[in-house]
Chains A and B, each alone.
Chain A
Amino acid sequence: MEEKYFEISTENLKKFIDGIITDNYEVIAPTDKDGDTFYGKINKFEETNLDILLPKMSYKEYLLPKTETLFEYSISGVDTEVKDGLQNIAGANEKRVIFGGRPCDAGAGPIMEKVFNWDYKDEFFNERFKNLTIISIACEKPDNYCFCTEMQLSPESSYGSDILLKKSGDKYFAIVTGEKGLNLVKAYSNLFTETAKDKVPADKDWKKIFEVEKTKSFLDKNFEHNYFQERFLSCIGCGVCTYTCPTCHCFDIQDEGNLKEGRRIRNWDSCQFGIFTLHTSGHNPRVTQGDRYRQRLMHKFKIYSEKFDKYLCVGCGRCSRNCPEDIDIKEVAKNLAEMA
């Protein structure tokens, strides 16, 4: 579908969100909780906090839950019953809208979709992803940790959003990228006014401070470079970077149960953990935290792009903002680009 363009007043946007909530949509939006802002379910528009740049965590959990049941079993006498976990999530997200996220977060879905469909088609991810409707808001003021522009997106990118809203005075321009977004707009057509592409304000000329291709070209040639061991001596391996990241998707499959019942689950996992690559023999190919942070950089800026033609980073900057030891990935990627 070709992009379509609409206008909606701030007042009508509130009516739109409250309207879809009344229509039994589950709306996930930035909302204040525990002294910070997180994505969470809202019961009315007023509960959103659209003044902040980004919630502390990404909304990855709505595509890849922190724990997902793959199947369950129960044994009774000689009978064994197995239940496919997919049954639990059939139609998941069908009436779920993520509202008020940013272009970086929206960009993460289609990037992750590639690895979840590369060989095995991951039915769990796909079931959640295909149904989710994403209404993002373009950023007006990215902060110093943001680098979506360097990561081939931009604060105004519509990539991955079903509807991208761009604020302009007391109204928004809505860029509708596909059927999912259009169906919602049509259902509330009294709130939207269709407009022409040339009425939508042009994107600003966002500047880059480094070229990610150069970062990659450094990584191509400098696997053993001292930089990694020196810079990441301060990494404590807490994994916060990977767990708050919208694109980090590593998981660990585990069995839980006993002779009567149990289940196979997959949990979030992190390449920053020492045990992540620990072999049964006791050998660990990634001995130091420098080795592990290098892996994270390699995966984001080199390996993924070679395999899937997309970098595995949307430049949201969460890993930097949330790092307890102040490792700033934008600064690191820039350092590497400068050394290339």
Chain B
Amino acid sequence: MANTKTDEKLQKIAKDLLESGEVNLIIGYTKGSNPQRMRPVFITKPEEVVKLTFSSNAVQDLAVFLKKQEVKKYGKIGITVKGCDEKAVNALIQEYQLSRDNIKIIGMQCNGVIKQSLADKGETKVSETTVYDKCLICQEHTPVLYDFLVETEEPELSISGNVKPYAEIEKLEAMSAEEKNAYWAKEFDKCIKCYACRQACPLCFCSRCIVEKNMPQWIDTNSEEPGNAQWNLIRAYHLSGRCIGCGECERACPVNIPLMLINEKMARDVYNLFGYKSGLDINAKPVFGVFSENDFNDFIK
């Protein structure tokens, strides 16, 4: 792969960080199993930074690795993040999972990543029909927080408005409770309880997930009704006001459950009710971690 200016700058930052001992590990992207795929790479030696690269195929949210014990043991870590993924780093700091002092954020300017399902079929162009819905509503093409910024050479994503991101949400909002129930019953019926959504989520960091607690058994273990709905709904609640919208759960789901419709709807509701968006400010208190007299109270009758 030819080294672009972006890659050169990225590699230089990583090399300096490792050589100076400011970090012990760099988490970044490297080329993957086909030309349209990238994969995570973990670099500890300055001479290995040549492996680092970035492109519109960098779909993974690398912040997921910050919750992993095997990664945490490196202590000071440098991480390559797109704007969306960077919000996960912020949320982890907000929720005391990560110390700001232990992380060097290499922010990557990004104008959208190509859906992996399309890239695998050979799609190479970034356009409003090829990127994820999250890219179409993205306000953080430049990450909100970074120690180093690598500017993009890609042209700005042009948005005509013809593609409506998360269009299904409005359809769902217009449905009756029974219709919504039927919609989600059909979707959750597909669930195979692999928990890939949880594992791919940078903010699902519980050392013991509620589905693994069996005294008592809070969530039915079966992969039918009602077990599937129980799992998907409890995850939705645990992520509301926290999800930063990276979409990794939906990308990882092997049976294509549209999980981002749930997460995006929850994020919109939290914003409308509390004026809060997750992962934008490391000094903000998580919305469900604080109480304010001005909070929405209409549900108390």
Q: Does A243 contact B (CB under 8 A)?
A: yes
User: Which residue of the partner chain, among A35, A144, A288, contacts B34 with CB atoms under 8 Å?
Assistant: A144
**A144-B34, A256-B220, A256-B222 as given contacts; A35 in contact with B256, CB under 8 Å:** yes
How many residues of A are counted as interface, with CB atoms below 8 angstroms from the partner's CB atoms?
Answer: 44
Q: Which of A241-287 contact B (CB under 8 A)?
A: 242-244, 252, 254, 256, 265, 267-268, 270, 273, 275
B137-169 vs A, CB cutoff 8 Å, 1 = contact: the mask equals 000000000000000000000000000000000
Contacts of B251 in A (CB 8 A): 324
**A233-B70, A268-B223, A290-B70 as given contacts; A238 in contact with B255, CB under 8 Å:** no
Contacts of B199 in A (CB 8 A): 236-239
How many A-B pairs have beta carbons closer than 8 Å: the answer is 109
Give bound CA distance, A129 to B120, whole Å: 34
- Determine, out of B105-113, B189-197, B291-299, the stretch whose residues face the partner at the interface: B189-197
Classify chain B's interface size: 35 or more
Contact A236 B64 (CB under 8 A): yes
User: Contact residues of A with B, CB < 8 Å?
Assistant: 33-36, 38, 56-57, 66-67, 144-145, 229-230, 233-234, 236-240, 242-244, 252, 254, 256, 265, 267-268, 270, 273, 275, 288-290, 320-322, 324-328, 331
Contacts of A268 in B (CB 8 A): 192-194, 223
Contact A240 B196 (CB under 8 A): yes
Contacts of B252 in A (CB 8 A): 238, 240, 324
Q: Does B117 contact A (CB under 8 A)?
A: yes
Contacts of B227 in A (CB 8 A): 67
List 5 additional contacts besides A38-B255, A244-B254; criterion CB under 8 Å.
A34-B190, A233-B70, A242-B194, A243-B194, A268-B192
**Shortest beta-carbon distance, A256 to chain B, in Å?**
6
User: Which residue of the partner chain, among A239, A256, A320, contacts B195 with CB atoms under 8 Å?
Assistant: A239
B30-59 vs A, CB cutoff 8 Å, 1 = contact: the mask equals 001110011111100000000000000000
Residue of B nearest to A324 (CB): B252
Contact A243 B39 (CB under 8 A): no
Contacts of B190 in A (CB 8 A): 34
Residue of B nearest to A38 (CB): B255
User: Which residue of the partner chain, among B60, B68, B223, contacts A267 with CB atoms under 8 Å?
Assistant: B223
Contact B68 A289 (CB under 8 A): yes
**A238-B199, A324-B60, A324-B252 as given contacts; A243 in contact with B221, CB under 8 Å:** no
**Shortest beta-carbon distance, B24 to chain A, in Å?**
13
Contacts of B71 in A (CB 8 A): 233
Contacts of A273 in B (CB 8 A): 195
Give bound CA distance, A237 to B190, whole Å: 20
Give bound CA distance, A240 to B252, whole Å: 8
B115-126 vs A, CB cutoff 8 Å, 1 = contact: the mask equals 001001000000
Contact B194 A36 (CB under 8 A): no
Contact A36 B70 (CB under 8 A): no
Q: Does B14 contact A (CB under 8 A)?
A: no
**A244-B254, A265-B222, A325-B60 as given contacts; A236 in contact with B70, CB under 8 Å:** no
Contact A325 B222 (CB under 8 A): no
Contact B254 A243 (CB under 8 A): yes
Give bound CA distance, A92 to B222, whole Å: 20
Contact A34 B256 (CB under 8 A): yes
Contacts of A233 in B (CB 8 A): 42, 65, 70-71
Residue of A nearest to B39 (CB): A326
Give bound CA distance, A144 to B251, whole Å: 21
Give bound CA distance, A38 to B64, whole Å: 28
Give bound CA distance, A268 to B191, whole Å: 12
Residue of B nearest to A237 (CB): B199
**A57-B255, A252-B221, A288-B70 as given contacts; A320 in contact with B40, CB under 8 Å:** no
Contact A144 B33 (CB under 8 A): yes
Give bound CA distance, A240 to B71, whole Å: 21
Q: Does B248 contact A (CB under 8 A)?
A: yes
Residue of B nearest to A320 (CB): B33
Residue of B nearest to A36 (CB): B256
Contact A67 B223 (CB under 8 A): yes
Q: Does B262 contact A (CB under 8 A)?
A: no
Q: Does B200 contact A (CB under 8 A)?
A: yes
